[in-house]
Structure 1
Amino acid sequence: MPKQAQTMSLIKSEDKNKLFDPEKVSKEITDDDLKAFHEITNLEISSQQADRITTPYEVLLRQKKVLAVHWHPEYIPMDLIRQRIQNTFPNRDEELIIPTQHNQIMSYDGEYSGVEVDCYSSGFKRKVQLLLHFKSSKLENADVLKSMLAHTFEYRSSQLFDLMDTLIEPKWDDYRQLAAEGTGVGENVIRFAMIQTHKLRTLLEQHEHSISREVLKNKIVRNFLDAQRHLYPENFINRVQVFVKSVKKVVKANFSLTYFYRTSEIIEEARGIGGGIIVPHPEQFWPILLCDYDIDGYEVWNPQSQEYTDFLINVINRQNKSRSASTKKLLLFMGDDTHMSEKIKDSTQIEASKFYRDIGVQPAWDDLSIRKSLIVGSFSRKKMIDEYRERLEGQLSL
């Protein structure tokens, strides 16, 4: 940034800090609020955003096998995603790429389809997630599964409204105070969060018939605040975001899981139509490793689950050694867990833990520290692509 522009930016920032008074924030919806709301609910992709989507962070010239069965397209067009993958792996010669939108079946190439499902394991009273993958032609007989996913999608979306209620309604003041004490924020932060959330809820009610249900997620609260950063001091908005995140944790902790379908029910329905089943980031719910679920394999590495990768590989190796010759072996996967809507954000809005993920980029496959364990189990991108594709086609590899 040129020195003059940098100086002007600092002056504007100082003026914004001096002029800001949390007590004087309007409770009425302003033009700025409307602008922010339309910005975060408009799913059209600008040319600048399209460039961000199609431009990868790195070009992997040497990687020829691309295995990506845990990633989220969200509302980003597949043609732009396809271009990004092409630009990331220009020399690829084999791939298995299947999207796994939360509770919504989607396809990347028309041949295979996938979904990440929230479900409930009553044995250890935890929500777990499953990655389901299908030969797309088999989904013609998936009416029951689609109905189960629709219910799960609507129920998970309801968590957003629980979050907004907890940030606004007087009866949840104890939860707000608990979050405030845990984050060290003052009453001015709580009041601001309440005002902005009330505006957002009102706008959602006013525009419920014209916005996509894709935006009805917890992160819309965060996005609404981020869209107004230019109006308020940066450090103040940061404190508000920390407070909202803390409230969200309280809401999630009190969100009833019994309305989700049981894990065994989802597995049974998926198997009934020839689906493949993978458990993603199992280190977040350890007991699932002890359950005798009918699955194809585990994800042992994920950008948010990296600490126990070598341990998980060895667990799979031991389980496979103990299985009879007639029992199918457990497969091993790495999940990049990419959220494509993160790619369109500018530098002031990114969540670094998600922003730098990329479809098919799973460096653990080439990590020398776990290479020995992978070799012992005969695991590689190539072998997992071939074996999992055979299973999805209906030719089980034992």
Structure 2
Amino acid sequence: MPDSPNPTEPRCVEIDLSAIDPAVTEDDERDFLRINDFSLTPEQIQRIVAPARVYPRQEYVLAAHWHPEHVPMELLRQRINALYPNRVDELIIPTQHNVLMEYDGCQGVEVDCYSSGFNRKVQLLIHFKGLDLERADVLQSMLRHTHRYRASQLFEYLDALAEPAFEDRRQKAAGRTNAEEELVTFVRLQAAKIKSLILTHEADLPDDVYKNKLVRNYLDALRSRFGDRLINRAQVYAKAVKDLVKEEFSLSYFYRASEVIEEARALGAGIVIPHPEQFWPILLADYDVDGIEVWNPQSQLYTEFLINVVNRRNRMGWHGKRPILIFMGDDCHMSEKTRPMTEQDPDKAAREIGLQPAWHDFSIRKSLIINGMSRRKIIDEYRTRLAG
């Protein structure tokens, strides 16, 4: 497996730009179509339904923050059965980004929205039990708008990598990552090809293609042609450009968090704030939510602190008779497991639906026990709330 991108690698990477055809080649098209082919091979299906590691001692499975992506639910059911063969209870709700999906009568979605009080993007996990989709036409329209707008960031990202008007962003990212001009040019050529390939094949591309990770996946597909060292450096630089795009991406077209909460609550939703460590101010907003995620593979530093925040709020009675619940999110993205092993991100590939090791951490368990929290109790209480 290739080394992870490392900005401390030597700055100079030998690139023969004269050998790179600026036009789309057959190899480019082959790689593009491969990474965007969401049909599953027998080998991929076997990898999904037969996980390399199982957890026979886990009796309760709470999975309220995970992403099926293009993997069929029936295959995911087989995986869950294999992962937790001795479970006695479960609450499993998928939360695709801005797309409502269902598993065993429960529907869920992770929504991008805008916190006007803090002028920044936030996310909300919204969960339902037996949602009547005919009543949810407004919410579904909101989600479609958000999904399309969020997807538009990919084109802004590609423009920032390739178009003359965004030279300032490229130079700023190059400065942050110590990228030489030849590397910037190499990535510019590849981004232009991605954009051209999208336009050529857009009639046949699935909606799930239009995400920023398309750039990462396409660059990874070039490893066999250009080598790990060059692609690792390219990934570091491209991510820096992506971060700049996200920093400057307009928030005005997202729905306000309060609007999303109001519409979801009218339909009987449960609402959880995911990985608040990434946007601390949301903890001060006192939104009408059922729970706060205190642990996530991307947010692990302040779990005990967040548990204490939740417990202090509950003791003070801020939320009346419905205390805030403690959640942990596995944030599993199933598409990572379908990628070739040499192109997988090891950290993301290791995530599993319903697997949150922090529940078993001795220090964290101590805080949970003192405050009467457990997976079993959260499952029981949240299921009751979703049932109305």
Q: 2:301 aligns with which of 278, 297, 307?
A: 307
Number of the residue aligned with 2:70: 75
Matching of residue 99 in structure 1 with residue 94 in structure 2: yes
Unaligned runs of 5+ in 1: 1-16
Q: 1:117 aligns with which of 91, 111, 116?
A: 111
* 1:282 Cα deviation after fit: 0.8
Decide which structure has the larger Cα Rg and report it.
Answer: 1
1:44-85, Cα deviation, whole Å (9 max, x unpaired): 000111122123242111111100000000011111111111
* 1:325 Cα deviation after fit: 9.3
CA distance in 1, matches of 2:281, 2:344: 33
Q: 2:57 aligns with which of 48, 58, 62?
A: 62
* 1:370 Cα deviation after fit: 1.4
Q: 1:348 aligns with which of 328, 342, 348?
A: 342
1:326-348, Cα deviation, whole Å (9 max, x unpaired): 52111111100000000012232
Corresponding residue SS for 1:32: helix
* 1:202 Cα deviation after fit: 0.7
Number of the residue aligned with 2:186: 192
| Structural RMSD (CA) | 1.4
Corresponding residue SS for 1:162: helix
Identical amino acids, percent of aligned pairs: 55
Q: 2:21 aligns with which of 23, 26, 46?
A: 26
CA contact (8 A) 1:57 1:356 kept: no
Number of the residue aligned with 1:135: 129
* 1:376 Cα deviation after fit: 2.2
Number of the residue aligned with 2:261: 267
Number of the residue aligned with 2:271: 277
CA distance in 1, matches of 2:373, 2:225: 52
* 1:22 Cα deviation after fit: 2.6
Number of the residue aligned with 1:243: 237
CA contact (8 A) 1:74 1:101 kept: yes
Unaligned runs of 5+ in 2: 1-12
Corresponding residue SS for 2:196: helix
* 1:375 Cα deviation after fit: 1.3
1:202-258, Cα deviation, whole Å (9 max, x unpaired): 110011111101111011111111112111122011111111111001100110111
CA distance in 2, matches of 1:57, 1:378: 33
Question: Matched residue pairs, number?
Answer: 376
Corresponding residue SS for 1:137: coil
Number of the residue aligned with 2:10: none
Q: In 2 relative to 1, CA 154–325 (structure 1 residues): closer, same or farther, beyond 3 Å?
A: closer
1:64-110, Cα deviation, whole Å (9 max, x unpaired): 1100000000011111111111111011111100000000000122x
Corresponding residue SS for 1:142: helix
**TM-score, normalised with respect to structure 1:** 0.92
CA contact (8 A) 1:139 1:273 kept: no
Q: For 1:1-398, what aligned pairs fall within 5 Å after superposition?
A: 21-109=16-104, 111-323=105-317, 326-394=320-388
CA contact (8 A) 1:121 1:128 kept: yes
1:274-331, Cα deviation, whole Å (9 max, x unpaired): 0000000111111111112110010001011111101111111111111179521111
CA contact (8 A) 2:113 2:121 kept: yes
CA distance in 1, matches of 2:59, 2:334: 22
CA contact (8 A) 2:107 2:131 kept: no
* 1:132 Cα deviation after fit: 0.1
